[in-house]
Structure 1
Amino acid sequence: MPWLLIAIGYLLGSVPTAYLAGRVLKGVDIRQIGDGNMGAANAYRQLGAKVGVMVGVVDAAKGALAVLIAQAVNAPQPVILLAGAAAVFGHNWPIFLGFRGGRGESTTIGVLLAVATIPMLILAAPAILAHFIFRDTTKAAAFIFVPLPFVCWLTGLSGVLIVYSIALPCLVGFTHFLRTRWLPATQRHRSD
Structure 2
Amino acid sequence: MPAELNLPPTALVALAIFAAYLLGSVPFAVIASRLFGLADPRSYGSGNPGATNVLRSGNKAAAIVTLIGDAAKGWLAVFLAKSAAFEPGALGLVMLAVFLGHLFPVFLKFRGGKGVATAAGVLLAVDPLVGLGALVVWIGVAVGLRYSSLAALCAAVAAAPLTLWLRGPDAVAIAVAVMAAALIATHRANVRRLLAGSEPKIGSKKK
TM norm structure 1:
0.86
Q: Which residue of 115, 120, 134 maps to 2:126?
A: 115
**Could you say which residue in structure 1 is the equivalent of 2:23?**
12
Contact between 2:149 and 2:190, CA under 8 Å: does it hold in 1?
no
Deviation at 1:61, TM superposition (A): 0.9
Distance in 2 (CA, whole Å) between partners of 1:189 and 1:179 is: 9
SS in 1 for 2:57: helix
Are residue 69 (structure 1) and residue 47 (structure 2) matched?
Answer: no
Contact between 1:35 and 1:188, CA under 8 Å: does it hold in 2?
no
Contact between 1:6 and 1:83, CA under 8 Å: does it hold in 2?
yes
Q: Over residues 23-63 of structure 1, what are the superposed CA-to-partner deviations in whole Å (9 max), with x where a residue is unaligned?
A: 22124211111111101110112252222122112101111
| Identity score, percent | 32
Deviation at 1:178, TM superposition (A): 7.5
Matching of residues 20-99 of structure 1 within 5 Å: 20-99=31-110
Are residue 104 (structure 1) and residue 104 (structure 2) matched?
Answer: no
CA radius of gyration, larger in? 2
Distance in 2 (CA, whole Å) between partners of 1:178 and 1:82 is: 27
Unaligned runs of 5+ in 1: none
Are residues 28 and 187 of structure 1, via their aligned partners in 2, closer, same or farther at CA, if it must alter by over 3 Å? farther
SS in 2 for 1:26: coil
**Could you say which residue in structure 2 is the equivalent of 1:129?**
140
Number of aligned positions between the proteins: 187
Distance in 2 (CA, whole Å) between partners of 1:135 and 1:179 is: 13
Matching of residues 152-171 of structure 1 within 5 Å: 152-155=163-166, 157-160=167-170, 161-171=172-182
**Could you say which residue in structure 1 is the equivalent of 2:158?**
147
Distance in 1 (CA, whole Å) between partners of 2:142 and 2:74 is: 21
Distance in 1 (CA, whole Å) between partners of 2:100 and 2:68 is: 17
Distance in 2 (CA, whole Å) between partners of 1:189 and 1:82 is: 34
Distance in 1 (CA, whole Å) between partners of 2:51 and 2:38 is: 17
TM norm structure 2:
0.80
Contact between 1:35 and 1:187, CA under 8 Å: does it hold in 2?
no
Deviation at 1:162, TM superposition (A): 3.2
Distance in 2 (CA, whole Å) between partners of 1:40 and 1:164 is: 24
Unaligned runs of 5+ in 2: 1-11, 203-207
